[in-house]
Amino acid sequence: MATAQAILDKLRTQLDLTDYQKLHWEGSFSQYLDFVLENPGVTRTAYQRMYDMILSHGTEEVYENKEKLIRYKFFTEFASRQGDGIYGLDRPLMQLVNTFKSAALGYGTERRVILLHGPVGSAKSTIARLLKRGLEEYSRTDAGMLFSFAWKNPDGTWSKDPMHGEPLQLVPEEYRPQILAQLNASCTQPHSYDITIKGDLCPFSRFEYSQRLQKYDGDWLKMLDNEVKIYRLTLSEKDRVGIGTFQPKDEKNQDSTELTGDINYRKIAEYGSDSDPRAFNFDGELNIANRGIIEFIEVLKLDVAFLYDLLGASQEHKIKPKKFAQTDIDEVILGHTNEPEYRRLQSNEFMEALRDRTVKIDIPYVTRLRDEVRIYEKDFNAEKVKGKHIAPHTVEVAAMWAVLTRLAPPKHASLTLLQKMKLYNGKTLPGFTEDNVIELKRDNPTEGMTGISPRYIQDKISNALVAHPDEDNINPFMVMKELEDGLRHHALIKDEEQHRFFKELLTVVREEYEDIVKNEVQRAIAADEEALMRLCGNYIDNVKAYTQREKVRNRFTGAYEDPDERLMRSVEEKIDIPDGRKDDFRREIMNYIGALAVDGKKFDYKTNERLQKALELKLFEDQKDTIKLTSLVSNVVDRATQEKIDVVKSRLIRNYGYNESSATDVLNFVASIFARGQTKK
């Protein structure tokens, strides 16, 4: 049996202190200049570092309605590693990264407040959180390293620069052009940005600098060698190093010193003046976020006094601590807000200066169904939901309803809202092309800025999971009931008309779900591979004879007969091929088979989605009476029928992801639909 010491000894052999030593590197100013020559990136500005951090995770090109978009893997792969997922926002995120790029290149947006604007629950906070976490991680890598400096105290201890400034700020103003010219000319590595020295030392370091310069009779190089230590800086929100977060309190309790620091009254007695920088805490959020990023939560709820600080911080990159001169900062200023606050900003004439210094980036709700489904599958999947089977389409119907609430009614008279959603999801509809989809989106530029929040959907799926303790699965009907019941108490539904509209959309979703499961059961019944192959072969033989004006040999009598028009039409009608289009469709099928033959490939009905669907529906039509599916709604089922039903059930489980109970439920449901249909007839 291993002892505690043996366990620790084994762990000790696995220790690798290399990373720790690299992250805690300390050295002289001249050693730091060697770092700069080897890796000029250590001197980057906050925006340059932010942009490079995002690019370091890689990119990929994606196409959306003929338009090429850049997808940044930082928001996909890195986000998923952090337990966050951002889906369907490629366009807004590309706009955000382009803003960072413009700021990194010094084109003007570095002097703006970046404002993420959108409805509640549209991932604004998630984006801000990811950017902060990404910077933390990046600062710990070789590519993202940065440095700061500390002053030596008489007792041998060290006092770090409270705003972790860039060490090159220690170079006096008159020597900066000379040293920058030599550094840029002597770099051993190619670099994207010129080495520059932005801003000056903070009041604390200015004081320490001038005090020590007297000691060395103005020899600043000697002073740096003896009094200054350079150290590797790692950004950390928890340690309040380079990453700040500010959340407004109620209006009566807001205090601007939370942003720019405050006097340390205990030290006034020690230093004799409240204007001595050593008696001041440079620990406001704008101070500690220097070299990194500050996030303003609900930025437009800030008191006007705070906004003055924000104006200077963005435009001039300066803040004004109490009793001190303006102090330089270098940080990304990112705020987020929702629609009501933004409308208030637009109507408030006192906020005109802030509006002028703001780059607004709309972060809408997702309007593509497959992306909305991914949002919920992140939390509701087999790994996370233990002991409950989530029936197929449960998450999909909830996502479908959420997306429908966000779409603007289409102007095309022949297009329904459901069809519009399908077009957005990449489906093809007769009479509509990608150009039509582009036009639809152009007609509604603010689409996705209203509707139901993903949080509401997540809450209702959670309710459905716990509201049925005796069931081993949850199904779409349980979730739709929760969605409908919750509408009565939904705080963001404005009026009765909107409430009624949302309920009508649930009816649309319910009908769509009925079609989906009917189709699945039909395909499960018609999943007899041999029967499908026989039907396909028979159909193709007749189509070939029809298009080539030949006869078909009857395999039973051996006689040659005219092509079976009734058989061909019974297949084609299943996919709504009108009589006037039958010749075109049949020639299309024969041309498709001919093209495959030229390439040396054999025709398989599964490669043609429309034909496969038609054959499955035709086979279902032929077989449904032999299965007597409608007998499921009665209590008496004969043995032969039960065996056939069990085969269908096993196909539903194997091919579509049902379990035993959910497959039984869906068969009963579809049986009741057919029973209703027969009653109507």
- Contact by Cβ (8 Å): 331, 286: yes
- Contact by Cβ (8 Å): 161, 205: yes
Q: Which of 13-22, 89-98, 180-189 has the highest mean pLDDT?
A: 89-98
Residue with tokens 């949850």: 474
How long is the chain? 681
Which tokens is 224 given?
A: 């740096």
Cα four-point dihedral sign 16, 18, 19, 20 = positive
Which helix (H) or strand (E) covers residue 4, if one does? helix 4-14
pLDDT band at 633 (very low <50, low <70, confident <90, very high): very low
pLDDT band at 680 (very low <50, low <70, confident <90, very high): very low
Which pLDDT value is given to residue 59?
Answer: 93
Which pLDDT value is given to residue 460?
Answer: 93
- Contact by Cβ (8 Å): 56, 44: no
Q: For 4-10, what is the mean pLDDT? A: 76
Which tokens is 429 given?
A: 């509809």
Three-state SS for 5?
Answer: helix
- Contact by Cβ (8 Å): 36, 42: yes
Strands (E) in 86-223, as ranges, are: 113-117, 146-152, 158-160
Which tokens is 26 given?
A: 């300390």
pLDDT tens-digit profile of 259-275?
Answer: 888 888 888 888 888 88
**In the chain, % of residues over pLDDT 70:** 94
Q: For 580-596, what is the mean pLDDT? A: 85
Q: How many helices (H) and strands (E) does the chain have?
A: 29, 19
Which tokens is 165 given?
A: 């400034």
pLDDT tens-digit profile of 49-62?
Answer: 999 999 999 999 88
Provide the residue type at 320 as one letter.
K
Of the candidate ranges 428-437, 625-634, 635-644, the one whose mean pLDDT is the lowest: 625-634
Cα four-point dihedral sign 69, 408, 424, 377 = positive
CA distance 320 to 310: 10
CA distance 403 to 591: 39
CA distance 12 to 3: 14
**In the chain, % of residues over pLDDT 90:** 43
CA distance 423 to 286: 46
pLDDT band at 22 (very low <50, low <70, confident <90, very high): confident
* Bridge-based pairing state of the strands 243-246 and 473-474: unpaired
CA distance 425 to 405: 15
Q: What angle, 0 to 180 degrees and rounded to 10, lies between the N-to-C axes of helices 369-377 and 417-424?
A: 80
* Bridge-based pairing state of the strands 332-337 and 113-117: parallel
Among residues 148, 170, 132, the alpha carbon closest in space to that of 49 is found at: 132
Which pLDDT value is given to residue 675?
Answer: 67
Residue 71, beta-bridge partner list: 60
Which tokens is 423 given?
A: 């077009």
- Contact by Cβ (8 Å): 482, 401: no
Of the candidate ranges 97-101, 112-116, 303-307, 575-579, the one whose mean pLDDT is the lowest: 303-307
Asked whether residue 334 carries a pLDDT value surpassing 90, the answer given is yes
* Bridge-based pairing state of the strands 146-152 and 318-319: unpaired
Strands (E) in 552-609, as ranges, are: 552-553, 560-561
Of the candidate ranges 9-13, 191-195, 314-318, the one whose mean pLDDT is the lowest: 9-13
pLDDT band at 467 (very low <50, low <70, confident <90, very high): confident
Among residues 369, 394, 364, the alpha carbon closest in space to that of 379 is found at: 394
- Contact by Cβ (8 Å): 366, 87: yes
pLDDT band at 412 (very low <50, low <70, confident <90, very high): confident
**500 or 672, higher pLDDT:** 500
Asked whether residue 349 carries a pLDDT value surpassing 80, the answer given is no
CA distances from 478 to 383, 472, 670 (A): 21, 13, 17
Three-state SS for 311?
Answer: helix
pTM for this one?
Answer: 0.84
pLDDT band at 256 (very low <50, low <70, confident <90, very high): confident
CA distance 593 to 611: 12
- Contact by Cβ (8 Å): 532, 611: no
Cα four-point dihedral sign 400, 405, 410, 416 = positive
Neighbours of 506 (CB within 10 A): 19
Q: For 199-217, what is the mean pLDDT? A: 93
Among residues 609, 574, 564, the alpha carbon closest in space to that of 589 is found at: 609
Q: For 131-160, what is the mean pLDDT? A: 95
Q: For 535-551, what is the mean pLDDT? A: 87
- Contact by Cβ (8 Å): 56, 83: no
Asked whether residue 164 carries a pLDDT value surpassing 70, the answer given is yes
pLDDT band at 681 (very low <50, low <70, confident <90, very high): very low
CA distances from 387 to 260, 367, 380, 478, 629 (A): 52, 32, 12, 17, 30
Which pLDDT value is given to residue 252?
Answer: 58
